[in-house]
Amino acid sequence: RKEVEQDPGPFNVPEGATVAFNCTYSNSASQSFFWYRQDCRKEPKLLMSVYSSGNEDGRFTAQLNRASQYISLLIRDSKLSDSATYLCVAGMDSSYKLIFGSGTRLLVRP
């Protein structure tokens, strides 16, 4: 079993749609959580950190459920420019070794 698991997709949605990605992590000692975005053949870029209380950044909302070891990302009003791979990430400890999921691919069509 992978330490961080995601549905690989692709999710193919029309512009303006709301789409949700889910992710589970296996190590209950994980302390920090993030969503990164990766465009084709580019480096991952931080989209947002994920906090226990849930957090929102514009059209993006992230939530963490520690009891279920589950992380989610909600994208509202999808834009063509949101097309990318979204990587779910768990940080294991203060040494900051990050464990990445394999990514969920999103395609937003006109």
Partner 1 sequence: DAGVTQSPTHLIKTRGQQVTLRCSPKSGHDTVSWYQQALGQGPQFIFQYYEEEERQRGNFPDRFSGHQFPNYSSELNVNALLLGDSALYLCASRNRDRGNSPLHFGNGTRLTVT
Point out which residues bind partner 1 (CB under 8 A). 4, 31-32, 34, 41-46, 49, 87, 91, 95-103
Secondary structure (H, E, C), 18-31 = CEEEEEEECCCCCC
The residue type of 46 is: L
Q: Which of 106, 105, 104, 95 is nearest to 4 (CA)?
A: 104
The answer to whether 88 touches 23, Cβ cutoff 8 Å, is yes
Distance of closest approach, residue 47 Cβ to partner 1, in angstroms: 10
Closest to partner 1 by CB, 38 vs 72, is 38
Distance of closest approach, residue 16 Cβ to partner 1, in angstroms: 29
Distance of closest approach, residue 28 Cβ to partner 1, in angstroms: 17
Q: Token match 């949700």: residue?
A: 20
Closest to partner 1 by CB, 19 vs 48, is 48
Closest to partner 1 by CB, 28 vs 43, is 43
